[in-house]
Structures are given as C-alpha cells and as structure tokens.
Structure 1
Amino acid sequence: MRLITNKLALLLVLVVSCIAKETAQKTFSSKSRSEEENIFEQNTNSELLWAPYRSNCYFGIRPRYIDETPFIFGLMWFDTTEFDAMTRLRHFVSDDDHMERFTWEAYDPRLGGKENIIDPENNLNLTIYFAKTHDDSNWVVRVSGKPLDTARNTTTSVVMYMNQNIGPDMQNGQSRLIHISNTDNNENENSLEFTGMSEDLGKYEVLINDNHGKYYTNDTLESIEVVPGCNASRTSHVGLTIPDHEVWRARDVFQSLLTDSIKDIVQVTGEKVEPGLVPSILTLRNLHNFDQGNFHYVQKTFDMREETGFEFDIVYNNLDSKETIDSGKQATLLIDDALHEVNVRFDNHFNIDETDGDKRKFAMEVLANLLGGIGYFHGTQVIDRETVLDEDQFESIKFEHFREEGPYSLFTSVPSRGFFPRGFYWDEGFHLLQIMEYDFDLAFQIAFSWFRLIDEDGWVAREVILGPEARSKVPQEFTIQSPQIANPPTLLLALSEMLTKLIENENNMAFVAGNKMDIEEEEGITSQLGSNFDYIIKYSKIIYPYLERHFKWFTETQKGLIEEYMEDMEDDEKFAKVNQNFVYKWLGRTVTHCLPSGLDDYPRAQPPDVAELNVDTLAWVGTMSRSMKDIAHILELTKDETKYAEIEKKIVENLDLLHRSEKAKTYCDVTLDDEGDEEMKYVCHEGYISLLPFALKLMPRDSPKLIDILTLMSDPDKLFSPFGLRSLSKQDEHYGEGENYWRGKIWLNINYLCLNALEYYFPEVLTGSHEKSALNDKHTSELAGKLYTELRNNLINNVYGNWEKTNYIYENYDPTDGHGTGSVQFAGWTALIVNILRG
C-alpha cells in the first residue's frame, strides 16, 4: 500500500526526513534512526522513483534521484501523409503547436494518471495512461490514438525513444539496453523486447506490444516498401549510441537521420515519388548501419481512416520485482486501479459539489496539471559570481563572467510545461500552498529539494535551470544567475503558513514525547509513519541552519540605504521612530523593470535612485522573520525566537512608519525627491504592492488601517473587477501601458493571498455572521464579508469559464473582459483556484 500522510503535525518530519537522505547520514548513525523514519524514507523514495518527470515533454519518463545511469523514455508523433510532416513533429510542449488541448485529466505521481492531447494539425486525439505496480518498481504506458476526422485520410506515426545512460565512467560501466527481438514467440513482428541493465536501477526489461490498430497500407500499390527498411506497414526499430548529455536532442537526431534517409531515397528512386509511399519514406531505417547501442528509436505508423484508431503498451519491468507486468489485461487492471485511487484521493481532500456545473472535473484537471508539471532536473547551473551590479546606472547588466557549476539536482513543480519548464523560486512557494493540501509528504520533498540548493552564502537562484535540456527552453539572457539577485521568498511563506497552524494547534496535537502520532488512514491508503516530539526536534535542527543562512543572505544583500534621508528628515517626528537597520530594496532593478520583485514591470520610482526603498521587499522580510520565529519556537530556541520576533515587530512598525502614506491611505515605495530638496517622497501606485502588508498578514489584527485596505480592494474604479483584483489600479497613469504584464492583469497568486488574509483578519466571513466581532466593528465586518464572497465567486467563475471555453487555465487574466492571457495551461499558481473553490 502507498504511504500518504496529511497531518499538520507532520510538517517538519516531512521536510527533514527528506534531508536525512544526505545530511542526516553524516549526523546520525543508522542505528540511531527510528524504525518509522526508515520506513518513511524507503516508501517515499520508492513511491516517487518513477513518474513522467520530464516536464518539458508532452510525455517523458525518467527516475528521480538516479543521476548517473537513469533510464530515459520519450514520445513523439506526427502525421506522415505529407512531405512537410516533420514541421508538425511533436516532442517538447510548445504553445506554438496550437494544441486544442493537452491536459492531465487525473494524475498523482505516486499512482499514475491519464493525459489527453488533442492535436488538430495532426488530426489526432491522443490519450496516454501511466500506472505503476504496487511495489512501485514497474510501470506501464498505454498510448491510445483516434482520428479527429476519418475523412482526412491521415496517419499517425508514433516515435518512441529510450536510452540507458552509461554514466560518467564509460570505460568500466555495465549499463546497457539491448534489443532482443521483434517477435513474441515469432508470432508478432510488431512486438519488441529489450533487456537493460543500470548500475543504479539493476536489471530490467522493456516490452512494446500492440493491443489494436491497423498499420498503414495502400491497396493501390504493389508494395509500400519504398526501399529496404522503409516500410510503414510494420514497426521500425533503429538502435545506436548517443552520448548521455545529448539524449535530450532525440527529436533533432531523429530529424537528421530521417533527412539522410530521404536524400538517399531520392538518389535511388528519383525525385518523383508516388504520394502513397510518403508514409514509408518518412519511416526511419538504419541507413548508416549503426551498431546497436544504448539508444533506441521505435516507430509505429497507423492508418487513421477508421474511428477505432490504435493502442499499444510500453511495459518496464524490474527483474528483481515480484510484480512484473506480463499482459495487456494486467496493464488494464493497473491503469483502472490507479485512476480509481486518484479519484478517491482527490475526493478525500477536495469535497467539491458536482451539482454546480462541472466544477469537480475542472478542479481535478487543474490539480492534475500542477502535479503533472512536477519534474526532476539534474545538471549544471550557469552562474556569474564576479560581475558587480552597478546600482547608479540602473541599466540591464551583462553577466559576462559566468561558468557552469554543479551538477545540482532539483525536484520541483513548474509554472508552465510549455513556456516555463524549470524551477522558479518565486512561483514554487505558491505551488506548495496547493500541493500541501493534497499531499504533505510530496510538498515537502519538493521544499527540501529547494532548501538543499541554498549555498554556503545562503543564496539560491531565482531560476534554477539545470542542464542543456532545461536551458534549451530559456532565452540566453535569462540563463545566467547572479548571487546578488533575490526573489520573493515564497518557500518561507509556505513554511510560515504551515508552522503558524502547527503552533496554533500545538496544545491539541496528538503527540507527546515518546508517543506516536495518530496517522490518518484513507480508503486504500495506510500510513506507516509515526513519530514523536523528540523526533521532530532532532531533525528540525538539521534544516534550521539552511534557513538561517538564507535569511542572513537575503537581508544583507537587499538592505536599503537610510542614510540618504537622515539629514533632511531628522526633524520629522514619524521618521525619527523608523527602525533604521530594517529597510530594504530590490537589488538589480532597472529603469523599466524590477525582475527580482517578481512583479516585473509594476511601476516604480522614476527616475530610479540608489536610495529607493521598496515596501514589498520589507514585507517579504517580515514573512521570513515570522517563519524563522516559528521554527525557533518549535525547536525551543528561545533566544532565536526572541530575536526573530523582534525583527518581525520592527518590520511591522516600519511598514507604517516608513511606507504608509496617510495622504494616499496606502502603502508605497519611498525615494528621494530629485526636484526639491531631496526629501523623502512616497511613490504610490495602488495595486498588489499596496496590498502585500495585508496579504502577507503583517498588519496587526486590530489595525484601524484595515478599513483602508478593504476600501481599496472593493473599489471597482481601482482594483475590484468582475474577474478578480487588478494588479494595478485602473486610475493609475501606468494602467495597461507598456509591456502591461503587472499593470492591471489579474493574477491568481496575489488574489489567493488576499482571500486567505480576509479569512485571517475577518474569520466571520467564513461563517456568514457579520455582527460586531472581537476584532472588528459591524460595518468593517460586513464590508469584508461582501468583498470575500464576491471576490471568491468572481475568481472561480472567470477561471472556470475560461476553462470551459478553451480547455486551459492561464498565466493571468484580462481585467476588461476576463479572457485568459499569457502562457496557456499555466498550472502553476493559477492552480490555487482549487483551494479557492473548495473554500
């Protein structure tokens, strides 16, 4: 049975038990580790070993944490009835492919799932199933395709490729992948069998078997074998050797080999080719007489003139497993079981009323696509540790002193498989706010993977782009990372949210020293993980230094200059109370952009000044302080808890003392007035930056300024819209101008934080009772309740409505008519709509 837990009290256990894979082995002997810990690690590593972790591919499999000799699998396809077919060869997810749909309908990396792709240009409705055996050692991929229109007389040529990486020690390595035969007892020439050996994975076999489907034929021709080996009526196989670091170029290599074959055919047969032979001409053959290596292409070309289409299975069996998959019927049972269990798990966590339209299907697909974007990346990172930012010019910096460092590994979800298939520090905390509601263990496996990237100085890259495959999807100017550039520390936001709940429930938690926790059991799922408070304490001490270093790095590199204001502001009574050591700015902003803030083109002070201080940087440091305070509390580090509590207190004070404009009644950046006597002036652009002190729960619960925040959010002429809160006030001079990325568009991440903050400050909004509460007067409570209800409904209706019309969720939404904009299938923080829908 698969191990799942979702108790809040397990939070730190989940994080640190992951860390035990490396760090704890150095700190504690195996004899000192509890039986429960060993069970947890073994189950987690097994359950999460195999999945479609190649997020950038429409479908691609690799194992997690197998870095030297992984087995790699990928899928491509195209319609081969026309000579220009290779321009429609699908492999990496791309918005330019104009897919009508590419969607995980149900998915859990522990279990498996179902992905549906509708490709109009290739006349294909493709469904891919993935399921694992209960011991998690073996898996099956079922590829099922049907034509969208049988009258178009198309084919579907599916190209599979697989490689057993040799590893860096190519001389002594024993890893191999060998094609045994094309037959199953000489009965089916289209069934293939491979045997493999990996130093990390052991011995295994790969079987490829058809379930049904008609291969391409043409009754008007005597033969469709245009030259020996080029015959679309049977499965084609070519084995060769490709260096491990070039396997990701499988599409390019395939196109190159096929081009060579076509040129040879033209020389042999002449340029005039019978149209009925085109599918055979576009069938790969071993033209160059390659010796069989570890890399293999398998190509199947099906006639799509019948509605039944085709279906075949790819089975991976570890030969040491007792649960090998040996038949199509057995594969069907595994797939059905996995899909059933995914549905049960979803309903256990998200009880969504199906009577309200098709909201359950919508929510399940959105969550599935977030989970389906989880990838495992391994490789080098390009870093420039020498170039110093010129803070006076505010021009774009050219990082020219870079080098590759690593290799590193990252287990992460991605914002968008088609446009952003890599790790984003800014996005990941929001992803975890969603994932942890479904699977705590999984969420903190991901969190740990990020924590372990924190270097000795405390820095972690804002974009983690590991290896050439990940870099191939990134514009060159964004591949180089600088240790001077920060990003909003949303991982600590997620950690802070969970620690806050843990502390609030501390007296009610079902554990005491020496006693195991009660672990929730779900249908078909039993957890074997138990723990006690001492266990949590022990491993919390392991994670704590990572976070300390990161806090120190962030607050030192992003520290602002207060000295510039001192002379002209010394007589200002309010300014005199400012905590001068706790002021911050984003290092690395330019005249037009502040990429470190995550709110790229959100309007800032013009012209920029070295003395600029940013309210959002300060607010994020407040979140970090709160998180550090909470974990210090868990560890009973009283001195540290007091230290971070004092920092948090000073930051909260500075939000009002330094960044609150009483005239504008909002929070603003500040800078020097270059037109007057260089006194401090507020730079007020009402929008998401103004809301962050509220959204991050840094305002006191009894603050009289809460009413100003509610008024701003509720104003339809400023932030409130029928589709969600605008990122910038409709009345701002920069609204909708320029790049128009964070200048009015509606983003789910900040909208989610605002809804969550409304629940925090006005808990009565969840009960519907708006009588005078302990914290707020009746008028304020009623305003909060109305805002909460309308904002929640607007967000749900708009994201759901776009999905109904287009099959997709989007990066952001237009504030005028609500249509989706930016990257399609942006199942990153937009997936927070599932949390919002559940309420």
Structure 2
Amino acid sequence: MTADKFARKRIIGKHKDPDSVDSHEPKRLLPKHKKDSSAYKGRFITLSCVTVLAILLVGYFLYQERLKNAVNTPLNSPRIIEDDTSSSKVTPERFWGSYRPHTYFGLKTRSKNSPVVGLMWLQQFTGRMPPPIRHWCNQDDKIQGYGWVAHDGVNFGVQEINEDNFKLNTSFVKRMGGKHGGDWTAKVIVTPKVKLSKLASPTYVSLMFYMALDGQGKVDTEMVKNRVSGINGYSEELGNFKISFPKVSTKGAKYNHLVTHTTKLDKLKDVMMETIKIEAWDKARTMPYFILGGRSVPRDSGGPNYIVHQVTAQLPLEMEVIFESGSVEDRKETLSGESYDETLSQHLVEFDNKFSDLFQHRQNGYNNSMVDFAKFAMSNMIGGIGYFYGSSLVQSKYNKEPVEYWKAPLYTAVPSRPFFPRGFLWDEGFHNLLIREWDESISKDILFHWIDLLNSEGWIPREQILGVEARARVPSEFVVQQNVNANPPTFFLPLQKIITNMIKSNTDSDRKILKALYPRLKAWFHWYNSTQVGTQRSVYRWRGRDPNTNKQLNPLTLTSGLDDFPRSSHPTDDERHVDLRCWMALASGVMADIARALNADWEEYRATNQMLTDNKLLDELHWSKEGQQYSDYGYHADKVKLEQPKITLQPGQRPPQQQPDKIRVVITDPKYQFVNSFGYVSLFPFLLKIVNPTSPKLFTIMNNIKNPNMLWTDYGLRSLSRNARLYKRFNTQHDPPYWRGAIWINMNYLALSALNHYSYTTGPYQNLAKSIYIDLRNNLVNNLYRQYIKSGYIWENYDDKTGEGRGTHPFTGWSSLVVLIMAEKY
C-alpha cells in the first residue's frame, strides 16, 4: 500500500460520517467545529514556536550587545571618589596645581574643562629659523637639566631649567580664599650663565605666558598703551577672575601679545607660531626679532579664548603673573613682590623641615648635596602629578572596532614628563610608595581615582591616555587598550600600609571608604583570577603575547611590565609565569586583610594566599633544578637567532632596494621546559618575600644576586644575567634591549626591601642578607647621585657596565624611589 493510500485510509477511518448507513458505530456527538479547532491548534503551535524563536533571537542579540558594552560600562558599585571630591568646594587646597606635567611650566585646576595657563620662551637673535620655542617637555630640546627643586603638592613649587646660555627659575605660590580655590602667583626669573661683563654680546629672551579656555567661559584683555596689562575672565569652575601682568623692571623691555581663538589645546604652540612676525629690534641689529601677531579673532568664533603675553628683554629678566579669584572678598594684599617672596620662603622652610623629619637623610650620613638630590627626586615625583579628564580607547573581542571608555577624571603621577606624561597602571603602584610617605591623603586620592576606573568586567586599562594633550603624545598604534591585557597589580604595595592605617584609625570616614573600596578590589582581583589564570590550579599566565610573530627574537610580554624579558620562545596556553603568581600572592593577602576588617568573607582570600605562598607547591611549579632558580615554564627553545631572509630572484628580476627585516630562526626544537634566564623574573618569590627565611633556596638566590657574572654590578642589580643567552640582545632588528641587562630602580627597591626583611627575620641567612643589603644600597645610591651630578637628570634605567643613565630623562617616576632607599623606608 502506498503511503498516500495509507494516509487517506487513516483519515477516512478516523472521520467517518456519523449519518452514513454503512456505519456500524453508534452515533455520537462530535465537538463543534472540530476541523477549525485542529487548525487553530496548528496555528497556535506555529505561532508559539515563532514567538519562542523570536525571544531567543532577541535574547541572543541583547546578550551580544551586553558583551559588546561590557568593556566600556562602569562597574556597578558605588564610586570611592564622588563627583565633587576634586572641586574647589571640597578640596580647595588641591584645586589649582602644576597638573600639566608635559609642559615645562603649566597650571590648571582639577576640573573637567579647566582653563590652562603656561609658559613658552625663546632666545632672540640666534639666527635660527624658525625660532626654537620651548613649551612641551621634549628630549630633542637638549636642555641640560630641568626639574622641581622643591614641591609640596599643595601650596607651592620651585623649578630650575638649565639652558645653554641662561637659567630659568619658575615658581608658583597659592593662597586660599573665596569659593574657587583662591589666588596664585607665578614668577619667572631668567639669568645669564656668564657674568654680563664677560659676555661677547648680551642675551635676549622672550617670555610668553598664556591662558587658554577649554570649551567654555570667556576671556579678554586689559590694555595699557598697547600692552596687555591683564586678562579678565569667567568660567564655570573659577567664577570671575583676573590675571595681572605687571611691567618688568628690566629697562628697554618690549611687549607684544596674541589674542585669538582656538579649539585645540594640543595646538597652542602651533597656533601661536602661525601668527609670529619679524620686526627690527633697533637699527643696530640686523637679525630678526620675533614678535606675536596681535589681535586676530575670527568673527564667528564667539570671542577670544586664547591670550598670550610676550615680554622680551636683555637678561637678567624677572616676570610676575598674578591670578586673583573674584570670590575672594577679604584679600588684604596682592600676592606679589615682597609678599610673594616672604610667602615662598616660609613654604620652603616648612618643606625642608617636613622632608628632614620624614626621611632623616642627614642622620643616615648623607651630605647636603646628596640631600638636595633626594629633595629633587621627591619634588619631581610630586610635581609630576597631573590631572586628566577624558576617555580611553578600548576594545574587546566582541567589538569589531575600538570604542570610547566613559569619560572620567584621573589624578595621577606620571613616569616621565617628556616621554610618558600620562598614567601607567603598574608604575603608579611604585609611585605611591613614595607619595604615600610624603602625603597619604594625596596617595589615597590618586589610587582611588584609578580604582574608580574599573569597568563592569573588573578591568582597568593599563595605560591612561585622557584628553587631547595626552593623546597627542602617543603613537596611534599604542592608543587602543585591549580588555584581556593586564598589568602587575602594584597598587597593593602602597595599599598594604594605607589599608592598615585605615583599619587602625577605624573612623567613620575610613570605614565608609573601605566599604566602597572592597567591592571594587574584589572585582579587580576576580578579573585577574578569571582572565590571567593558566591551565592548572594555582598557575597564572600573562595574556597578550603574540604566538605568530616571526620578527621578535622572544615574543614580548608587555602586560607584565618587563616587556622583552625572556619568556618561553613559543607562547602557548600552558605557560606558567612566576612573577604573576607572586603578584597574586601579594594581592590575596591584602584582600584577606580588608575583608576581615569589614567582617566579610575573608577565608577564601586567606586560603588563596596560603596556597600561593606555599613554598612546596611553588617549588613544584617553578623551581628549576637544572638552573637552580625560580623560572617560568613553557614551550621553549633556548637557541634562536635573527637572520636576514634569503631572497630568491627570478631571471631578470632586480633585487629589492631595501632589505627585508630579519626574522627569527629556531635552531633547536622547542619543548616544554623551564626558561632558565636568570634575572628579575626569577627573583619574584624573593622580591615579594614569599621564600621561607629558612629555605636553602634563599641562600642560592642571594648568592646568585651577589655573583658579578649574574646580576651584581657596582651600580645596582642588572635585569638579566650576563650568562643568559639573550643578555643585551636586540629583540628585533630595530628594537634594542630594554629589560635585558639594564639596571631598573623599582626592581632594585624591591630587592633592597626583601634583603632588609630577611636581615631582620629569624633564619640562617640573616647576616648574608644584611651584608648584601649594605653593599647594594651604597652602590645604587652613589651611582644615581653621581649620574645626576654629571648629567643633570634622573634616568629611566642605568647601564650595567658603566652606570650611565639610559632611556628617557628626566624619569622621576619609580627612579625617585631612591629617596626611600636613602631613608631605608620599605
């Protein structure tokens, strides 16, 4: 029987006509509209399926949208820093400050759209075209040395800038009052290096002090005989204000100005240079004299928002700039002249007394010159604090294109004013070891700003490029931050002491902060434990390594902070990174402390800490018997090199004009093994004091440290052993070694902290630890001081063979930890 006939028979048999004479079944009533009911059910089932499918599709798309948005959605937890915390109402003493560290001298407020003021200068009659105008800190300017010699982070700052032919002294002093952060005065003193009587020809310098608005407010000039005597203005953050430019005392000084409109704060110098004109100084001078272009305000601009006051004179030259808030009603005198000098002198005395009491360097045997060096280092850490507002550019695997983070403020120190004038996550933890010692309230303000940047995943972008001025200093390929990339959670270093102090104080305000801080740290800690874990229990792995590169001798691990330090040659998911494990051990201990203080669930954190500090488990996963060191583990080949690829030419084909870049050649097959490159990574169980004080491995580590063929030098501990295969090796044809031998101060600080710890902790190696500690501390301090005297700078790192400064300069981020080393504060 065919399927069709079978189907028809079933249908007929099932629906016999009840009135049929052939029917042998008793008559019965059928439901009314039976056929319609069945059709309705079919339609209902179809509609239900469509509805369910639609709901699933909507749910899927909403879920995908949620995944896309997670990367730039704030964490759903109360912020620590409230909206008005940085305002002139809540913290007037820190409202104005030198928060533009990328400029040689610049001030702004801690507000979203702060007006900015700053200094530019040029030497006249040099014959150079275009004239070299100083504005943003730039190593190419080849200034012989510059930096803050005293800065307290609140009231004042004094800076010295050492040009070829003259010196500038820039200073500012603030005075509280009114509702908008009070008044301030800045003074610039320019003096020739050679006595006037010995000069072949006098030196002429133009000082150009400016104010520019950032999107709102208004400004205009007060004029006296074609000279700008002042600026009257208004902004939301400042209310009404006035800036005065008193006449200078130098005879024969000339005044010029620029009054214009600009929409780009990062182009202030460019806008000014476009207006520069050439004029004759007098009949005797034939070289061009550069002056500003006067008033040039576009009609449709709404008025001027950028004003520059130019003073040109033969040196010596002294200029004052006086800012007065319109809300100060009880001003007894202007902060100028003798009043300014007396107030500045008073602040300097208070600064010296506080510095001496805190660090006691003279009691530790340092002479006046070395104490001044320490003051310079500390002042530049404090004077390098900036205030930024804007959004990072971020991306996750769910976003095809980068997206903007939410707009947020960031109060942070910067590693280097000319090269890294922005916030870096792992640098900031080291910065605040020193900042906390100087002023814990500033340190808490900085760290809490950072922690408020956590997104809904518990991630913080490791590099903060906020605002147009900050973004203008970063190559485009480094702007986008990926949400799988971490950085060492160094905030836990200063938080150890900050949280301990807050727990001891037990004030209502501190408990309120701890309650806001804890869920944020909890989310951050969970992010590391969900995104940076390895393939087995208690193993951690830095993300962000490129397994497909063939141009790098050893694939970079930028996220670890130790960029080109040798890791496994072939990145895989089965890597084990010992330094990240140790960072998480530190973090879990602090988390346990804060959770316990808040009567929260702290046992799990303590259990994690005990597991990560368990020396037996640590040794099983990371101790290399062959290398006699703690090591990373991974898929690794020891023998690799960079070679020029061979070019095969077809008959008649010309060779390329430029040789292709060298590529990596693997000489020995990789295998899973320990990466026995002894250096900073190998030291982490020691650096973070995880190694038991009675462990023979501690003895081995300290002997390796003291070995000149490994890490020991007369200038500090080098980053990679001289015996390592990649010591001093370029990572690509063009990238010189970075963490492959150079001496870095942050790691040496941790080493000294550990040696100091083990010298006071009962165990068989106390005397050895003390001996190494004394020698290392002396070597490090003496070399940094010697190089500062020689070059005028504190440097990013130091050469392990000569001790000379290397990298960017000035680098008064973590290299300023020399202040704590001299004071023996760990």
Whether TM-score is above 0.5 comes out as: yes
- Tell me the alpha carbon deviations over residues 156-177 of structure 1, each in whole angstroms, 9 at most, x when there is no partner: 111111023343xxxxxxx221
2:606 to 615, 639, 645: 645
For residues 676 and 300 of structure 1, the distance between their equivalents in structure 2, rounded to whole angstroms, comes to 68
1:50 aligns with 2:104: no
- Tell me the alpha carbon deviations over residues 663-720 of structure 1, each in whole angstroms, 9 at most, x when there is no partner: 3221101114689999742111111001111111222344332112211111121111
Q: What is aligned with 1:156?
A: 205
The 8 Å contact of residues 571 and 635 in structure 2, kept in 1 or not, is answered as no
Shift of 1:276: 2.3
Q: What is aligned with 1:759?
A: 756
- Tell me the alpha carbon deviations over residues 782-809 of structure 1, each in whole angstroms, 9 at most, x when there is no partner: 2111101000111111101111111111
1:128 aligns with 2:174: no
The 8 Å contact of residues 105 and 115 in structure 1, kept in 2 or not, is answered as yes
1:117 to 161, 172, 176: 161
Alignment of 1:37-436 (within 5 A): 45-64=91-110, 66-68=111-113, 70-120=114-164, 123-135=165-177, 137-149=182-194, 150-167=199-216, 175-182=217-224, 192-215=229-252, 233=254, 235-243=255-263, 246-258=264-276, 261=277, 276=285, 278=287, 280-286=289-295, 292-304=303-315, 309-321=316-328, 322-323=330-331, 325=334, 327-353=336-362, 356=367, 358-386=369-397, 401-436=401-436
Moved more, 75-84 or 441-450: 75-84
Q: What is aligned with 1:466?
A: 466
For residues 685 and 205 of structure 1, the distance between their equivalents in structure 2, rounded to whole angstroms, comes to 61
Moved more, 702-711 or 795-804: 702-711
The 8 Å contact of residues 362 and 800 in structure 1, kept in 2 or not, is answered as yes
Residue 763 of structure 2 aligns to a residue whose secondary structure is coil
| Higher RCO (CA 8 Å, separation ≥ 6 residues) | 1
1:551 aligns with 2:525: yes
1:776 aligns with 2:763: yes
Residue 417 of structure 1 aligns to a residue whose secondary structure is coil
How many positions carry a matched residue from both structures?
691
The 8 Å contact of residues 87 and 95 in structure 2, kept in 1 or not, is answered as no
Q: In percent, how many aligned pairs have the same letter?
A: 32
Shift of 1:646: 0.8
Shift of 1:44: 6.6
The 8 Å contact of residues 561 and 583 in structure 1, kept in 2 or not, is answered as yes
The 8 Å contact of residues 411 and 446 in structure 2, kept in 1 or not, is answered as yes
1:681 aligns with 2:673: yes
Residue 657 of structure 1 aligns to a residue whose secondary structure is helix
For residues 697 and 497 of structure 2, the distance between their equivalents in structure 1, rounded to whole angstroms, comes to 23
Q: What amino acid does structure 2 have at the position aligned with 1:62?
A: K
For residues 297 and 379 of structure 2, the distance between their equivalents in structure 1, rounded to whole angstroms, comes to 43
Residue 677 of structure 2 aligns to a residue whose secondary structure is coil
Distance 1:559 1:608, change over 3 A: same
For residues 669 and 463 of structure 2, the distance between their equivalents in structure 1, rounded to whole angstroms, comes to 40
For residues 109 and 810 of structure 2, the distance between their equivalents in structure 1, rounded to whole angstroms, comes to 24
Residue 294 of structure 2 aligns to a residue whose secondary structure is coil
* Structure 2: runs of 5+ lacking an equivalent: 1-77, 547-553, 638-666, 731-735
Q: What amino acid does structure 1 have at the position aligned with 2:256?
A: S
2:714 to 722, 725, 730: 722
Shift of 1:633: 2.1
Shift of 1:445: 0.7
Q: What amino acid does structure 2 have at the position aligned with 1:470?
A: A
For residues 348 and 781 of structure 1, the distance between their equivalents in structure 2, rounded to whole angstroms, comes to 29
Shift of 1:61: 0.7
Shift of 1:274: 7.3
Residue 286 of structure 1 aligns to a residue whose secondary structure is strand
Moved more, 814-823 or 587-596: 587-596
Residue 584 of structure 2 aligns to a residue whose secondary structure is helix
CA RMSD of aligned residues (A): 2.7
Residue 490 of structure 1 aligns to a residue whose secondary structure is coil
Q: What is aligned with 1:487?
A: 487
Q: What is aligned with 2:512?
A: 538
Q: What is aligned with 1:606?
A: 569
The 8 Å contact of residues 125 and 148 in structure 1, kept in 2 or not, is answered as yes
1:838 aligns with 2:799: no
Shift of 1:534: 4.7
For residues 676 and 298 of structure 1, the distance between their equivalents in structure 2, rounded to whole angstroms, comes to 67
For residues 697 and 497 of structure 1, the distance between their equivalents in structure 2, rounded to whole angstroms, comes to 16
For residues 85 and 152 of structure 1, the distance between their equivalents in structure 2, rounded to whole angstroms, comes to 20
Shift of 1:327: 3.8
Shift of 1:502: 4.6
For residues 514 and 628 of structure 2, the distance between their equivalents in structure 1, rounded to whole angstroms, comes to 41
Shift of 1:237: 2.2
Q: What amino acid does structure 2 have at the position aligned with 1:158?
A: L
For residues 667 and 355 of structure 1, the distance between their equivalents in structure 2, rounded to whole angstroms, comes to 36
Moved more, 662-671 or 279-288: 279-288
For residues 463 and 837 of structure 1, the distance between their equivalents in structure 2, rounded to whole angstroms, comes to 30
Shift of 1:359: 1.2
2:596 to 633, 647, 655: 633
Q: What is aligned with 2:544?
A: 588
Shift of 1:610: 3.0
TM-score (norm 2): 0.79
Q: What is aligned with 2:82?
A: 22
Shift of 1:728: 0.6
Shift of 1:634: 1.9
For residues 284 and 429 of structure 2, the distance between their equivalents in structure 1, rounded to whole angstroms, comes to 54
TM-score (norm 1): 0.78
For residues 289 and 340 of structure 1, the distance between their equivalents in structure 2, rounded to whole angstroms, comes to 49
Q: What amino acid does structure 2 have at the position aligned with 1:444?
A: K
Shift of 1:83: 4.8
For residues 105 and 423 of structure 2, the distance between their equivalents in structure 1, rounded to whole angstroms, comes to 18
Shift of 1:378: 1.0
Q: What is aligned with 1:567?
A: none
For residues 336 and 823 of structure 1, the distance between their equivalents in structure 2, rounded to whole angstroms, comes to 33
For residues 736 and 718 of structure 1, the distance between their equivalents in structure 2, rounded to whole angstroms, comes to 13
- Tell me the alpha carbon deviations over residues 267-321 of structure 1, each in whole angstroms, 9 at most, x when there is no partner: xx9xxx97826554434333678785122111111123xxxx1111111111212
Residue 491 of structure 2 aligns to a residue whose secondary structure is helix
The 8 Å contact of residues 756 and 770 in structure 2, kept in 1 or not, is answered as no
Shift of 1:533: 4.2
For residues 242 and 355 of structure 1, the distance between their equivalents in structure 2, rounded to whole angstroms, comes to 50
- Tell me the alpha carbon deviations over residues 473-528 of structure 1, each in whole angstroms, 9 at most, x when there is no partner: 112211111111111111122213544x659xx7xx5x5xxxxxxxxxxxxxxxxx
The 8 Å contact of residues 412 and 446 in structure 2, kept in 1 or not, is answered as yes
For residues 430 and 608 of structure 1, the distance between their equivalents in structure 2, rounded to whole angstroms, comes to 28
Moved more, 532-541 or 344-353: 532-541
The 8 Å contact of residues 129 and 141 in structure 1, kept in 2 or not, is answered as yes
For residues 137 and 557 of structure 1, the distance between their equivalents in structure 2, rounded to whole angstroms, comes to 47
Residue 200 of structure 2 aligns to a residue whose secondary structure is helix
2:775 to 787, 790, 796: 790
Shift of 1:749: 0.3
Q: What is aligned with 2:22?
A: none
Shift of 1:108: 1.3
Distance 1:182 1:237, change over 3 A: farther
Larger radius of gyration: 2
Shift of 1:651: 1.6
The 8 Å contact of residues 582 and 685 in structure 2, kept in 1 or not, is answered as yes
- Tell me the alpha carbon deviations over residues 715-770 of structure 1, each in whole angstroms, 9 at most, x when there is no partner: 12111111111111111111111121101111010110111112222217xxxxxx
For residues 395 and 795 of structure 2, the distance between their equivalents in structure 1, rounded to whole angstroms, comes to 33
